[in-house]
Copies of this chain bind each other. A is one copy, B any other.
Amino acid sequence: MLKTIKLSKKSKARLGELKTNHGKIQTPFFMPIATKAAVKNVSTDELEELGAEIILANTYHLYLQPGEKIIKAHGGLHNFLNWPKPILTDSGGYQVFSLSRIRKIKEEGVEFQSHLDGSKHLLSPEKSITIQQDLGVDIMMALDVCPPGEAEFEAVREACDITFEWAKKCKEQWLKGKNEQQLFGIIQGGIFKNLRDQSLEQIASLNFSGYAIGGLAVGEPREKMYEILEYITPKMPEDKPRYLMGLGRPEEIIFAVKQGIDMFDCVIPTREARHGRLYQFCTQDEKGAILLFDNFAYKTLAATNEKYKEDFSPINPDSKVKLLKNHSKAYLHHLFKTNEGLGLRLATLNNLEFYLELMRKIREGIENNKI
């Protein structure tokens, strides 16, 4: 259940609180991604320092390596990676479809070959849940079928049907357990409004702890994504958290918040950091500035750009992170040019701080009806 604290008077944005086994989280929030039980290049101490309240890990990866049984024996995923706050795991479905050689989608699940060693596996809805139960995470996701953004109506319709069948099985498997973990259902339907309606109705009928929109930001045009978000989000159950999977750029997050989305995850801050792209707030009139809301804007900068070679100003003078205040852009430039791992860490800290600060500004914006 989502405890609604405040509805914006300016949009459908909402301020809320989500209770989990490892603490309450203010919504809307952003989840840094710890694909293989580590947020790339930063420590869990640093994540806490940044103010991260929840992270996301990948069932597919952890099932293959080190295996959920080892993590269970280790006392669960929180203990394994030494993170005392909430964790959400995806179902593993998305990675099966994007990383592995798929053998076959059947009613009982999806047969696939590991991208690591080619070994064969069956990921069934029941299996996905038991893995996530073994991991002991706070929020589990139901197994779904996520077609690519360019998929035709018929393929998306079929994906919705299987997603519904699997969702029922996930729920049944969940009911067999102690039910201490939350289970979220995923709405598919691609860019087709009637399929979105149908999928929402089907999934919502199963009464999950929360609902996610899947199958967006998977290659369709941004306008289409916005159209679907605007269409479907307000129809989702009001008393449950709404999670938009895999999104997105800061302006996309703002758009989604305005439609009533509460939860986000995205590889952008961590992945782009690895390529030396830094996100920073700036004034609206700065070159390359992208407006967010109220008087907030942001820009990105490429650490590898020659113009930073002699820029002795701090990476971010306003940062709460000592390393970002004390190291210069020239030094960061040098670290990227010389392939020093510390550069990846500094850029990742910068981008995660930006995304988490963005969410704080968003929550404040809802509070003050500025969003």
A contact set with B: CB distance below 8 Å: 36-38, 40-43, 45, 61, 65-66, 70, 73-75, 80-82, 309-310, 312, 322-323, 326-328, 330-331, 333-335, 337-338, 340-342, 344-345
Contacts and interface: CB of A to CB of B under 8 A. Distances in A.
Task: Report the copy number of this chain in the oligomer.
Answer: 2
A335 B73 contact: no
Given A40-B340, A341-B341, A70 B331 contact: no
A341 B40 contact: yes
A334 B82 contact: no
A333 B345 CA distance: 20
Nearest to A339: B36
Nearest to A66: B334
Given A66-B309, A345-B43, A330 B38 contact: no
Given A38-B342, A43-B345, A74 B309 contact: no
A177 to B, nearest CB: 24
A334 B73 contact: no
B326 A80 contact: no
Contact of A37 (B42, B334, B341): B334
Given A65-B338, A66-B330, A80-B334, 19 more contacts: A36-B338, A37-B334, A38-B342, A40-B340, A41-B341, A41-B342, A43-B342, A43-B345, A45-B322, A65-B334, A65-B337, A70-B309, A70-B330, A74-B310, A74-B328, A74-B330, A75-B312, A82-B327, A341-B345
B330 A80 contact: yes
B342 A70 contact: no
Nearest to A330: B74
A95 B73 CA distance: 48
27 contacts: A36-B338, A36-B340, A37-B331, A37-B334, A38-B335, A38-B338, A38-B340, A42-B342, A43-B323, A43-B342, A43-B345, A45-B322, A65-B337, A66-B309, A66-B334, A70-B310, A74-B328, A75-B312, A80-B330, A80-B334, A82-B326, A82-B327, A82-B331, A341-B341, A341-B344, A341-B345, A345-B345
A199 B43 CA distance: 49
Nearest to A327: B82
A126 B342 CA distance: 33
Contact of A80 (B37, B45, B331): B331
